[in-house]
Amino acid sequence: MRGMNTLATPSSSNAPVTVFGIPNCDTVKKARAWLTGQGVSHEFHDFKKLGVPVDQLPRWIAAIGWEPLLNRKGTTWRKLDEDSRAAVVGAVSASALMLAHPSVIKRPVVVWRDGRVTVGFDAASFSAHLP
């Protein structure tokens, strides 16, 4: 379960599974392939083309926290100047950075049919979200 964070939030059980990320991310590719292999239909929201959904980001932060969402190991984070990195001290500043630089969001973010939100990919954890 390394890299997985999850918390339930209210949602309709008829809602589709939605995967948020960027298409060239290997972890997103693995997660989407796994879902397809399990017969789980899902929607894909491409951060590069569609941006980060402003209405979803606060929900993700409330569900799993801003720190698990912030990818401090990625290239985008490392390319930020020291002042920009140092300015991220809480949910508000992290949210602003994530909206401005979607690639600093750890991927994939998955919103499950039951409303749970996870970040990262782990097959065993994903299995727990299937009926």
Which position among 25, 52, 88, 105 bears the catalytic label? 25
Domain ranges of the chain: 17-127
For 19-60, write each residue's pLDDT tens digit.
Answer: 999 999 999 999 999 999 999 999 999 999 999 999 999 999
pLDDT score of 131: 78
Helix (H, G, I), strand (E, B) or coil at 6: strand
At residue 89, the pLDDT reads 97
Q: What is the mean pLDDT of residues 4-29?
A: 74
Amino acid 130: pLDDT: 87
d(C-alpha 10, C-alpha 107), whole Å: 22
Rounded distance between C-alpha atoms, residue 13 and residue 84, angstroms? 39
Tens-digit pLDDT profile for residues 48-107: 999 999 999 999 999 999 999 999 999 999 999 999 999 999 999 999 999 999 999 999
Query: What confidence tens digit (pLDDT) does each residue in 101-124 have?
Result: 999 999 999 999 999 999 999 999
Is 33 one of the catalytic residues?
no
What pLDDT, on a 0 to 100 scale, did the predictor assign at position 14? 62
Looking at the domain 17-127, which fold is it? Glutaredoxin (3.40.30)
Three-state DSSP state, 21: strand
Categorize the per-residue pLDDT at 10 as very low, low, confident or very high, splitting at 50, 70 and 90: very low
> How far, in Å, CA of 118 to CA of 35, rounded?
14
pTM tops 0.75 = yes
Phi, psi values for residue 43, rounded to 5°: -100, 150
